[in-house]
Structure 1
């Protein structure tokens, strides 16, 4: 199923982006939990309609993990030195008392609000930087066609890194933080997306693992479209 535009008619009327993103996040979680993630990890979809930004799929570590299945990942298109500066972090977290799950990776499905005003873009990139600073893998999927901001460039700018755009305003980027005390590296696998074209498979790096798992965006996108009875035009 090629990438569809849920932000303009006809799909914006019949299948608004909010409903599709929720379905896509659930499809991604099902795909990861169906044998892609190693034992000890599980994925859960989240949707926060009122907040300034949302984690759409989280991969969490529960107990002692096993090694993921073998998958040949390409060399990163970007490898840069990063200073992981400390922050004054004040927050409240609530966990169920059934173990000690830790966030291992996050998959962000970008919303129009994330790309809207500078304050919203800053909030989104700050959240992404915080995930990376804590060692979590990150994938950012941007299929928003009504805003032109490049969140990949803004994320790198927040880390004081100069880099060019992926190749358009639509993209999917996998990030891997590598820490050595305060210093480290950020590895990135950017892919430009295009309406009407298939989606890529990007590496999803997990906290505590030295090899990634494949995040098949095409398969999950196709499943989400089938769940909503969306068919390609023509």
Structure 2
């Protein structure tokens, strides 16, 4: 299914879709995609400006080594993405950190973040999100970021670009013809990023989600996106498919 133009509907409509997508991602990950001992759980942030997230957790304070067959080894099959980014040697020294803990005491190993319009509608909200995402990475929490909205006045390099520029001195350039992005980060104070840019009308890529620095799973973004879209009200599906004018 092609990615729709979510700028053509209001934030509430996207939020309804977003909620369904998070749920289907959680169901898919918990339905056998994750190795034994790992689980996914949707969490709603008390601050509505921060996106609802999907956490990937493992019981105990330190995850045990993954057994053979638990995820995919990067050394055996590198993630199939267009770009792999590594930070430059002139890494910025100043770091702000944010401790992220799971209320149950189970250690979070990864986050899936689907950006919403509220994350990008003013400079303060962009800074709040980037602060949280940067803090997660330096606290050894891997991250998969999905942004279906093009860069705007408050995030001229896009949210991925804004995050990457906190770790690398070079300005991030967003492809003009592919302004949307999915980016998977390997947690570190000098993270690696696996990045796919795409546009409205393109198919969503499957993206790696890292369990640790050596192993990952492939997350079926397109299949779960389609499930969430089919669960929307028919009227809004028709608007997004260009069959009905937006109100």
Give the TM-score normalised by structure 1: 0.80
2:166 corresponds to = 158
Q: Distance in 1 between matches of 2:46 and 2:113?
A: 14
Select the residue among 74, 85, 90 that pairs with 1:78: 85
In structure 2, relative to structure 1, the CA distance for the partners of 1:176 and 1:70 (3 Å cut) is closer
In structure 2, relative to structure 1, the CA distance for the partners of 1:110 and 1:160 (3 Å cut) is same
Task: Determine whether 1:56 maps to 2:60.
Answer: no
1:144 corresponds to = 149
1:169 corresponds to = 179
Aligned length: 221
Deviation string, structure 1 residues 117-176 (Cα, Å, up to 9, x no partner): 221111111100001001111111011258463111211222343242342431111111
Which 5+ residue runs of structure 2 have no aligned equivalent? none
Which 5+ residue runs of structure 1 have no aligned equivalent? 179-183
Deviation string, structure 1 residues 86-142 (Cα, Å, up to 9, x no partner): 6576x796734xxx3111101111111211222111111110000100111111101
2:22 corresponds to = 25
In structure 2, relative to structure 1, the CA distance for the partners of 1:133 and 1:92 (3 Å cut) is closer
Matching of residues 118-129 of structure 1 within 5 Å: 118-129=123-134
In structure 2, relative to structure 1, the CA distance for the partners of 1:79 and 1:87 (3 Å cut) is closer
Q: CA deviation at 1:80?
A: 1.5
Task: Determine whether 1:196 maps to 2:201.
Answer: yes
2:36 corresponds to = 39
Q: Distance in 2 between matches of 1:102 and 1:94?
A: 6
The answer on whether the counterparts of 1:203 and 1:213 sit within 8 Å (CA) in structure 2 is: yes
The answer on whether the counterparts of 1:138 and 1:175 sit within 8 Å (CA) in structure 2 is: yes
1:5 corresponds to = 5
Select the residue among 197, 213, 216 that pairs with 1:212: 216
Give the TM-score normalised by structure 2: 0.77
